[in-house]
Amino acid sequence: MTKTFTLGKTERLKSRKAIEELFEKGKSFNISPIRVIYQRTAMKELQVGVGVSSKNFKKAVDRNRIKRRIREAYRLQKIPLQQLMQSRGKGMRIFLTYTGKEMPAYAVLSAAVGKCLNKLLKQLNEMSQDGGS
List, for residues 39-72, the tens digit of each pLDDT value. Answer: 999 888 999 999 999 999 999 999 999 999 999 9
> Phi and psi (nearest 5°) for 2?
-90, 150
Q: With a cut of 60, say whether residue 122 has pLDDT above it.
A: yes
**How far apart are alpha carbons 118 and 30 in whole angstroms?**
13
Average pLDDT, the chain: 92
pLDDT in tens, 78-101: 999 999 998 988 999 999 999 999
Q: What is the pTM of this model?
A: 0.92
pLDDT at 131: 62
